[in-house]
Structures are given as C-alpha cells and as structure tokens.
Amino acid sequence: MRSAEGEAIMTAIDDALVQRWTRADAPVPLVGRVLYHFVPVRRGTILANLRRVFATRLSEPAIRRLAMAHYAHLVRSVVEIAQDRWRSPAARAARVRVENIDACLRAHRRGKGVLILALHLGNWEVAGTNGLAQFAQYRGQFHVLRRPLVPAALDRFVTRRLTRAGLGVLPKTGALDRVLARLAAGDGVIFFFDQYAAGRDGVEVEFFGTPTGTFRSLAILARGTGAAVVPAATWRDADGRHVLHFDEALPLIECDDPNESIRRNTRAYNAALERLILRHPEQWFWSHRRWK
C-alpha cells in the first residue's frame, strides 16, 4: 500500500504528462511499437515498474504507450552514441545545452568536494560527457563512480569515452578511500543513485511511494565530509538536442540519531530523483529492477 507521501507524489504528477500519454495518438515512434510487440526484452519488468508508479494516474493503454516510447528512447540512445564517435568536438558540444552549472560550481568552490547525485535518465553517454567536456578548466576534477561493464570490450569503450571527456573513473568496489581522497582534493564524484541496493549497502526508504533498498553511502559521505550533494540529470528535448541540468545543492538533514539522519537524507535524494524522472518519464531506465 502506498504511503501518504507516495500519494502526494502521484497527485503532483503534471496534468500535461497525464494528458500526453492518455491520448490515443501519443507520439510513440514506430521502432518502439515494434520492439514492444516483437522484441519484448524485459517488457514484464518495464510494465510492472510503470504500473507501480503511474497506475493511479494513467490507464493501462497509456502505460503501454509509455513503455513503447521507452523502447524507442533506448534505440535512439544507442544510435546517438554510435554517431557521436564520428563527430568533431565542436559538433558534439553543439548537441548539448548545459543548464545551471553554477549550482555545481558554487558547491565546488566550498573546497570540500561535490557529490553529484545522478541517475540513468536521458542519454548520459552523450549529454553528460559532451556537456562536461565544454568546461576544460575542470578537466580531471570530476570522477564517475561505476562498476565494470560486461563484456570487457564494452567496459573499455565506455571508459575511453569518459576519459576522453576529461572525467576520471573510480571502480565502485572498494572505492571508499579513493572517493575520500578525491573529495579531500576538492573534486566532484558522480554517483548514480537510482539502482537497487541490497544488504548492508542499502537502507530501505521510499522511492515513488514504495520502500526499497537505496544506497546509504551517499548520505554517509555527505555527513562525514561536508561535501555538498548536487542533483544532476540529462534528457533529450523535443528538438533532439540534449540537456545536462544541475539542481541546487540539497541541504544536509541533521538528526541526533545518525541512522535516522542517513535515512532522511537518503529519502531526500530519492525525492530529488523522482522530480527529475517525472519531467521525462519515457527516458528513465525502467528495465532495471529498482523494487525487489
């Protein structure tokens, strides 16, 4: 059963979003319809996740249209990454608009490092790398915390793209000392926060109204180092250009009980991600099993 907070989130869903996907002629590319019906990779997971979030606001046909649009987004993202390889640096930069980077730079100037609260929205591979590459003065001062990809060839390809854009790469396994060193140097660490966290890595807090395992490490780092947590997201606009957007830094929630402080801050991070996802829901990674 969804909590009162979860119900408030659903009520806050923009009516324009509801109207867009409720229309029978909602803009769903043909490739999305084809994949949904004939190559339904993780279709059950995608639909289950969409129903969990939108069932009280969207009809079943609208949810299916949203799923089809999501498939189309994934295909378009792969094509964009392939095309990006052959573009000049100027052409790649022209494809991305960076919004409110001052929010990140203000946090950076505090000298305690910055924790970038990121998520798999839009086409990070294009918007994130090409957006940050526009700021040569900060080359080498932002680092992506990530797990190695399988197969190894794909991991090498992604790592090359990140380093070419001036980003460092920090392996997620055993990364604490490296992350602390980067924050102590005043650098930024990009933390993708929208995946399920199991066991001791996670704390159970609500995400779109349902409790689920969420990484506790970001709140622990923020409390322990004083580094600001700055939400960031990427998305594709209707004209095909990409956006790299930064929100203002989130205030640290202090409590007498450290565990309660971690829980409340972690919930605040999830709330920030919810607001970002609802701007362009078809562009979030619904095929991940976020709720277990």
Mean pLDDT of the chain: 90
CB 123 within 8 A of CB 77: yes
Question: Chain-centre distance of CA 286, in angstroms?
Answer: 11
CB 168 within 8 A of CB 142: yes
Residue with token string 């159970």: 204
pLDDT digits (tens, 9 = 90+) for 10-60: 666 777 788 888 887 777 899 999 999 999 999 999 999 999 999 988 999
Helices assigned H by DSSP within 229-281: 258-277
The residue extents of the domains of the chain are 4-80, 89-281
Would the pLDDT of 149 be above 80? no
Would the pLDDT of 1 be above 70? no
pLDDT digits (tens, 9 = 90+) for 75-119: 999 999 999 888 998 999 999 999 999 999 899 888 899 999 999
CB 190 within 8 A of CB 143: yes
% pLDDT > 70, the chain = 96
Positive or negative, the CA dihedral 70, 76, 79, 83 is negative
* CA nearest to 195, candidates 145, 244, 160, 161: 145
CB 250 within 8 A of CB 115: no
Please tell me whether residue 26 adopts helix, strand or coil conformation.
coil
Cα dihedral 85→171→233→54 (10° resolution): 110
Pairing of strands 210-215, 202-207: antiparallel
Q: CA-to-CA distance for 209 and 102, rounded, in angstroms? A: 31
Q: CA-to-CA distance for 136 and 130, rounded, in angstroms? A: 11
Q: Which superfamily does CATH assign the domain made up of 89-281 to?
A: Glycerol-3-phosphate (1)-acyltransferase (3.40.1130.10)
Q: If you ran DSSP here, which 8-state letter would residue 252 be given? A: P
Q: What is the pLDDT confidence band of residue 157, given thresholds at 50, 70 and 90?
A: confident
pTM: 0.92
Q: Where are the beta strands (DSSP E) in 46-136?
A: 96-99, 114-118
pLDDT digits (tens, 9 = 90+) for 206-247: 999 999 999 999 999 999 999 999 999 999 998 999 999 999
CB 246 within 8 A of CB 232: yes
